[in-house]
Amino acid sequence: MTKDMTNGSPMKLILGFSVPLLFGFLFQQFYNLVDTLIVGRFLGVDALAAVGATGSLNFLIIGFCMGVCNGFAIPLAHRFGAGDYKAMRAFMMNAVYLAVVFAAVMTVLTVVYCKPILRLMRTPENIIDDAYIYIVIIFAGIPATYLYNLISGIIRSMGDSRTPVVFLTIASVLNIALDLVLIITFDMGVAGAALATVISQAVSGLGCLIYSLGKFEILHADEEERKINTFYMKTLCNMGVPMGLQYSITAIGSVILQSAVNTLGSDAVAAMTAGSRISMFFCCPYDALGSTMATYGGQNVGAKKLDRIREGLKSCSILGIVYSIIAFVVLFFAGEWLAGFFVESARASIIGDVQLFLMLNSAFYIPLAFVNIVRFLIQGMGYSKFAVLAGVFEMVARALVGFVFVPVFGFPAACIASPVAWIFADAFLFPAYFHVYKKTKLMLNLV
């Protein structure tokens, strides 16, 4: 069930690992799309805007959870690549202890302060109540987020990208079913959409946990390996916290941008919501390639095979560039048609804004491909703090657009915020990669 990524063709290994991940991300985004579609069609534009107004805040918090869990998995990938399974299990147990603490603290803080934050973001009064109901339920489900992401990260660190996808697929189907039941049958509004998300993620996390404990003998820790180890915890935090902050720092820029879009009215928020959800669906391959390179880089650093890292980066970049061209062509011709799924045809101005958003974003998908591939590779090699700095560049770019350009140029300026952020991040990541590669080579005495 595990996969050694330190031997064999890098292109073949990357494809074999990333394709199952891609299906997982696609299913995840598919149920996000369906969630948005059901809300927009059955609850109206204001409800759609309410859910969308929480998007950047959601990413700020949930992104931190995901980043921390991905960071916790890196020392495990290093030990797996080195064949040190005893240390790998000890790291795993200490990661579990840390995740429990992180989840408890974050749940309490976010539930208490989410309403004031929504007000600071200048959420329109006609949607702020629904926005609060939606996001407070999502935040109450943070323990479920930690559960799934930690267990799936542990499994991926051993080279198995398929098992987490199976349970994520189950969660996606369950989420869609619960959306239909809770929103349409029980008339629960946006609360039903949020509950569907939390319940489905909890089911996928529990399923992943039960299955992995039964099938992966390598994860069975003995009494010694279950002990709290401050050195291991420090190492895990040095990897996990920077990766979490990378997501959150990036999201701060998105929060600032969202605040600027909120001033344009609920129609602009609805257009941004629909456009973002469609774009996120098309961006799933970049998430899959990035997660693949994190595991690939981690295992090969553990095995001291740096030449394979350069080969893997080249292979992954080719895949990213080819897909970016295909995605742009598809969205160029189908953007308006896709927008029509979320908004009634009578709202022509919103559909036009969604199409504009998709066109401008997809034109810069190649820089986005490198943001994911290079950043996650650097993280997998053990340099999470560089990823934080890349997040700072993205934050500055989005904040600049939000503060300066959106008030002057309106919605079209908001559409270019992400492309500008990707270019800013790449300007930092490419030099950072060459520095990290050289530093790692010296550290492993390979020169």
Where are the alpha helices (H) located in 41-159, listed in sequence order?
Answer: 45-53, 55-82, 85-120, 128-140, 142-157
Encoded amino acid at 72, one letter: F
> Which percentage of the chain shows pLDDT scores above 70?
97
pLDDT at 168: 84
pLDDT at 342: 67
pLDDT level of residue 346 (50, 70, 90 thresholds) = very low
Query: Are 386 and 249 in contact, with CB atoms under 8 Å apart?
Result: no
Better-predicted residue by pLDDT, 208 or 247: 208
Q: State the Cα–Cα distance between residues 250 and 266, nearest whole angstrom.
A: 24
Q: Mean pLDDT over residues 2-8, rounded?
A: 82
> Which residue, among 286, 250, 280, has the nearest Cα to 387 in the 3D structure?
250
Q: Mean pLDDT over residues 95-122, rounded?
A: 95
User: Is residue 404 over pLDDT 60?
Assistant: yes
Residue-by-residue DSSP string for 425-447: HHHHHHHHHHHHHHHHHHHTT--
pLDDT at 221: 94
* Phi, psi of 222, rounded to the nearest 5 degrees: -90, 180
Q: Mean pLDDT over residues 286-312, rounded?
A: 91
Q: Mean pLDDT over residues 117-141, rounded?
A: 93
Q: Mean pLDDT over residues 178-188, rounded?
A: 92
> Lowest-confidence range among 33-42, 97-106, 163-172, 303-312?
33-42
User: Is residue 378 over pLDDT 50?
Assistant: yes
> Lowest-confidence range among 35-44, 153-162, 358-367, 404-413?
35-44
pLDDT level of residue 344 (50, 70, 90 thresholds) = low
Residue-by-residue DSSP string for 271-289: HHHHHHHHHHHHTHHHHHH
The token pair at 422 is 């990707």
pLDDT at 10: 92
The token pair at 401 is 């657009």
Mean pLDDT across the chain: 89
Q: Mean pLDDT over residues 3-13, rounded?
A: 88
Q: Mean pLDDT over residues 298-323, rounded?
A: 93
The token pair at 156 is 């991926």
Q: State the Cα–Cα distance between residues 110 and 140, nearest whole angstrom.
A: 8
Radius of gyration of the chain (CA): 21
Encoded amino acid at 385, one letter: K
pLDDT at 347: 63
Q: State the Cα–Cα distance between residues 144 and 142, nearest whole angstrom.
A: 5
pLDDT at 281: 84
pLDDT in tens, 318-336: 999 999 999 999 999 988 8
User: Is residue 270 over pLDDT 90?
Assistant: no
Q: State the Cα–Cα distance between residues 378 and 382, nearest whole angstrom.
A: 7
Q: State the Cα–Cα distance between residues 257 and 396, nearest whole angstrom.
A: 11
